Amino acid sequence: MYEHEQLNIVHRVKFGNAGIDIDIGAPDMNDTQDQTYLNVDKQEIEKFESIASRWWDLEGEFAPLHRINPLRLGYIMQRVEGIFGKKILDVGCGGGILSESMAREGAEVTGLDMGADPLMVARLHSLESGIPVEYVQETVEQHADKYPQTYDIVTCMEMLEHVPDPQSVVRACAKLVKPGGHVIFSTINRNKKAWLMAVVGAEYVMKMVPKGTHDAKKFIRPSELIGWVDRTPLKDKHIIGLHYNPITDKFWLGPNVDVNYMLHTISE
């Protein structure tokens, strides 16, 4: 096991009339060995850091996430039969769109991410909205070592396709959830249709997300994800697809999982 030196960065930000120090312990992303151990991709981190200030811009690069969030939240609440009072970990939380919406419903939410700038934006938005969310900068593997069987629910949305070892993330999520708890994943299927829709269509034709957001080689087939789940105490319970019609400009959930999909699992 490696020992990691951390560069502690303190961001001084303004909220109302008060200055707030936000201490973010940032690992050295230039160390190749650390990147491998930490299961992070430096380019992926930098990609989202560069546009972090626009996480809560409803017309910006993250507009699709804002638009699909009610569908994601609704699916989570339906599958777990409500989240009020539940202890939830949101893995790969970014700027906190899903984290904050779950906290608004009365859940005790911790958001986890490796991007310092998105986390700073998430913390500031939490202060502005008055909705408490705890945001932590570390990998899900590190968090699992510290807090095994801690959470009622773990969400891992649109994150697996952005890390070098997604199977490691699945194992960590399984470790973090309590027996009988829920883990919900979302990612993108790997096939020609998914490439056409999520890369060619979304990035180049409709320009819904920035070019280079996705690498089709990192997309994950449902059979692969379920296979990883089966190697943990998790059991898959339900799968559903997330769909978009460019003509009507509408998102909806349905049984077809050819492109985007969500998988609900329970720890047994």
Q: Which residues are annotated as a binding site for S-adenosyl-L-methionine?
A: 72, 92, 113, 157
Any idea which residue has 């009020």 for tokens? Answer: 84
d(CA 235, CA 264): 9
Q: Report the binding-site residues.
A: 72, 92, 113, 157
Helices (H), the chain: 32-38, 42-49, 63-80, 97-104, 116-129, 140-146, 166-176, 192-194, 222-230
Residue 112, phi then psi, degrees to nearest 5: -120, 130
- Tell me the pairing of strands 234-245 and 250-254: antiparallel
Residues 176/234, Cβ–Cβ less than 8 Å = no
